[in-house]
Amino acid sequence: MNSIESAFSSDEVIRIFIFLLYVPACVISFWQLIPRLSRSSARLASLMLLAQLLVIVLSLETTVTSQFDKWLWDFHEEWNIPATLASTQLAMVGGVALITAWLARASPAIVRFYLAATGGVFVFLGLDEYLALHEFIEAWERYYIALGLAVVIATLVVARRSAKTARIWHFCLLVGLALSALGAMVFNALPPICDILGSLRLDGCLQFYFQEESLELLGIWLALVAMLGHFSEGVLMPRARVRAFPYALPVLWILLLLLNSLVPRLELRLIANPASVAFESGIHLHGYTLENLRESSRVRLFVSAQQRDYLGLGYSIHLVDQVSGESVGGLDEWADRQHGFWLFGPNYSPLHGQWMEVHLPPESPVNRALSVVLTLWRKKGGQFKPFEVRASDHHLVNDAQVVLGERVVAAETAVSRAAPVAEFDNGFVLEAVDLPDRAQRGATLSISFAWRSKVQSREDHVQYLHLGYVSPPGEGGSVEGGAESVQTGAWFVYDQEPLGARLPTRLWYRGLSDSETWRVPLPADLAPGQYSVFTGIYRARDGERVPASNSTGERWLDARVLLGALTIE
C-alpha cells in the first residue's frame, strides 16, 4: 500500500513536525553554539528556548473552553501570547545587537555600525510583529524582502572581514533568517492539505500556520543566539550590571507593550471628542476623532469592551446623504485588538483605539450634507448582525446607527459676480435672484437664488421670503421703500434653508458657490394684485435677522432685501 493504514490527525502531524524540527536544532545548538557563549548569555538563550517550547506545548495541549482561550494560544492570531513571545524575541535580538554596538569599543567601526543597523531592523520587526505596522504599508512584502536581503548582504560582508571565531555567529544569524524566511514565504503560501499528505492519510485537513510560526520562532531564537555570541565575544569582561542588560530586555519590552495598551486612554483625554454610546453586550463608545480631508474622512474610535467581546467584533463607517439616506461611501473593518493586553484576562475591558479612513468615490455628489455614521456588528451564522444602541448622547439614524459628525464634498470655486444683490454681515452673499413677473394663485412660484460664502460657517440659518401686498389689479403701486409702500399690511411668508436640506448653512465653506430653485406653494385664497418681494436670513437658534447691505454698501431696512415686484393673478 502507498499510505499508512491508520489516519493521523493534524495535531499529530504538527507534533511530529515540531519534534523533527526542534530536536536536531537543540542538539546542534547545545553542542556547537551554547558552549561558546558566556555563562549569563548561555543561560538567557536557554531560558528563551524553554519559553518558546513551553508556549508551543501549551498551544498544542491546552483544552479550549472559550473563544478567548482559543484566541489566547492560537499561533494564527495576533496580539496574544505566541505573538507577544515572537515580538519579544525579535526585540531582544535588536536590543542585544544595540547593546553590543554600544559597548564593544574594541570592535572595528564597520562591525559596530553593522550591529547598530541590524539591531534597529530587529527592534522595528518586534514592533511590527505585535502592532502589525505592515498593514499600513502598501506592497509591504516588497520592502520587507529588500530589508531582509540587505541584512543578509551586510552579514556576508562583515563576516568576510571578521575574525574566524566570530564567523560562526554570522552563520548562525543567516541560518535563523533562512528558517524565518522559509516559514514566512514557503509554509505561509501552502494551501490546506486534506485526506492525504505524502504517504500519510490525514483525519481532516492540515493547516500550515503552526509550522510557519514554529519555523519563525526557531529562526528568531537562532538570531538571538547569534547576537548573544557577538555580545559574549565583543564585550570583554563585562560587569554584573552589563551582563544583566540582556535579561532586562524582555521585561522592558513587555512593559512597553503594556504601556502601549494604555495609550488610547491618554488620547481619549487629550484629543478625542467625548461620547457616551452604550451598545448591547456592554460595548461602549467613549470618544472619537473625525478629520474630514478633501478625498476621505478619517475616524479614530475609542471603544471599550471585555476581551472576549472583541472577538468577531467589527465596525462600519458610512457617509450617508442626509436627504436621500443613501450611502455614498463606506468602510467595514474587524475590530483591531492590538490595544487589548491579554495579561488582564477575558473579563478586562481595555479601551481600544482604531483608525478608519473612508475614501470618497470619484462620483461623490458635491455640496450635499453627508452624515458620518457608525455601526457596530458581529458575524454570526454567516450573517452580519448589527449591535443595538441602548443609550446615546449622539443623534441616532436608527436603533443601530450613531451619527458621529457630518461633512460636505466641496465643489470647484466659481467666479464671483460683479454686483451682488446683497452682502450679509455673516459673510454670505446673495449674488443673483431669478424672480418671475407673474404667478397664479394656488400654483407654485419658482424663484432661484444664487449664493456665495466668503467664510467657513458653523451655524444654521434660515432664509425667508416675504410677499407684501401693494395694490389690487389694475392700480399702480410703488414697491420702493420697503414696508412703507404696503397699503393693506397683508403679507405672505415662506421660510426654508437657502440651499434646502441638502446643504445647511452650518456646512457652508469658504468659496462655496451654488444656487437653489425654490418651489413655493401659493395659497388659493391669496389676494390678486401687485406684491413687493423681500428676502433675508436669520439665525435658527434665536431668530435674529442678519443685517445686509446692497452692492453700493447701503443698508437694507430691517435687514430685508428687496427683490422686486410680483403680480399675483
Write out pLDDT tens, residues 254-283.
Answer: 888 888 777 888 888 899 999 999 999 889
- pLDDT over 50 (residue 64): yes
* Architecture in CATH for domain 273-408: Sandwich (2.60)
The pLDDT assigned to 452 comes to: 95
Q: When comparing pLDDT for 207 and 119, which is higher?
A: 119
pLDDT band at 494; cut points 50, 70, 90: very high
Percent of the chain predicted with pLDDT > 70: 90
Tell me the pLDDT tens digit for each residue of 498-534.
999 999 999 999 999 999 999 999 999 999 999 999 9
139: its cell numbers: 506592497
Instruction: Tell me the one-letter amino acid at 385.
Output: K
Any idea what DSSP says for residue 43? H
CATH number of 422-568: 2.60.40.770
* Separation between Cα atoms, residue 62 and residue 69, nearest integer Å: 8
Contact (CB, 8 A) for 317 and 300: no
**CA 246 – CA 88 distance, rounded (Å):** 12
The top-scoring range by mean pLDDT among 53-57, 368-372, 383-387 is: 368-372
Compute CA 410 distance to the chain's CA centroid, rounded to the nearest angstrom.
23
Judged by average pLDDT, the poorest of 133-147, 317-331, 349-363 is: 133-147
pLDDT of residue 265: 83
> 3-state DSSP helix/strand/coil percent for the chain, to nearest 5?
40, 30, 30
pLDDT confidence bin for 346, thresholds 50/70/90: low
pLDDT tens per residue across span 129-171: 887 777 667 778 888 889 999 999 999 999 988 888 889 999 9
How far, in Å, CA of 6 to CA of 198, rounded?
14
Could you say which DSSP state residue 238 is in? -
Tell me the average pLDDT across 92-102: 94
Question: What pLDDT, on a 0 to 100 scale, did the predictor assign at position 60?
Answer: 84
Q: Is 422-568 the same fold as 273-408?
A: yes
In this model, does residue 127 exceed pLDDT 70? yes
- DSSP H or E segment with residue 382: none
How many Å is the maximal CA-CA distance in the chain? 117
Which pLDDT does position 15 carry in this prediction?
A: 84
CA pair distance 196, 206, nearest whole angstrom = 10
Contact (CB, 8 A) for 264 and 203: no
* pLDDT value at 482 more than 50: no
On the 0-12 / 13-18 / 19+ scale of CB atoms within 10 A, 565 is middle
For the four alpha carbons of 102, 103, 108 and 111, in that order, the dihedral sign comes to negative
- The confidence band for 203, taking pLDDT boundaries of 50, 70 and 90, is low
Phi, psi for 415 (deg, rounded to 5)? -70, 135
For 100-131, give the DSSP string: HHHH-TTS-HHHHHHHHHHHHHHHHHHHHHHH
- Res. 325 pLDDT band, cuts 50 70 90: very high
Residues 171-178, mean pLDDT to the nearest whole number:
94
**For residue 381, which phi and psi values (nearest 5 degrees)?**
60, 35
Report the pLDDT value the prediction gives residue 500, as an integer from 0 to 100.
94
Whether the predicted pLDDT of 5 surpasses 70: no
**Grid cell of 117 as nine digits:** 543597523
Give the mean pLDDT of 465-491.
65
Task: Report strand pairing: 351-359 vs 296-304.
Answer: antiparallel
Say what angle helices 140-161 and 109-131 make with each other, to 10 degrees: 150
pLDDT band at 337 (very low <50, low <70, confident <90, very high): low
- Can you tell me the distance from the alpha carbon of 237 to that of 242, in angstroms, rounded to the nearest whole number? 10
Average pLDDT, the chain: 87
Angle at 118 between CA 114 and CA 124, to 5 degrees: 155
CA–CA separation, 155 and 166 (whole Å): 11
Lowest mean pLDDT among 44-53, 82-91, 237-246: 237-246
Domain boundaries, the chain: 7-260, 273-408, 422-568
Pairing type for strands 491-496 and 529-539 reads: unpaired
pLDDT of residue 484: 39
The CA distance from 151 to 205, in Å, is 36
Q: Is the pLDDT of residue 199 over 70?
A: no
Cα dist from 141 to 144, 145, 355, 547, whole Å: 5, 6, 22, 61
Stretch 467-489: mean pLDDT? 61
pLDDT digit string (tens) for 412-456?
A: 877 777 789 999 999 999 999 999 999 999 999 999 999 999 999
C-alpha–C-alpha distance, residues 219 and 181, integer Å: 9
Contact assessment for residue 66 and residue 216, using Cβ atoms and an 8 Å cutoff:
no
More confident residue, 2 or 50: 50
Q: Determine the residue type at 87.
A: S
Cell numbers that stand for 280 in this block: 448591547
**Cα separation, 168 vs 159, whole angstroms:** 9
Cell of 57: 506545548
Q: Are 562 and 466 in contact (CB under 8 A)?
A: no
d(C-alpha 349, C-alpha 322), whole Å:
34
pLDDT at 251 over 70: yes
**Burial bucket for residue 117 (CB in 10 Å: 0-12, 13-18, 19+):** middle
At residue 283, the 3 state secondary structure works out as coil
Query: What is the 8-class DSSP label of residue 555?
Result: B
Q: Is the pLDDT of residue 390 over 70?
A: yes
**With contact defined as beta carbons under 8 Å apart, do 273 and 267 qualify?**
no
Packing angle of the helix pair 140-161, 164-181 (nearest 10 deg): 160
195 compared with 153, residue with greater pLDDT: 153
Helix or strand run (H / E) with residue 314: strand 313-321
Q: Residue 267's CB: how many other CB atoms inside 10 A?
A: 16
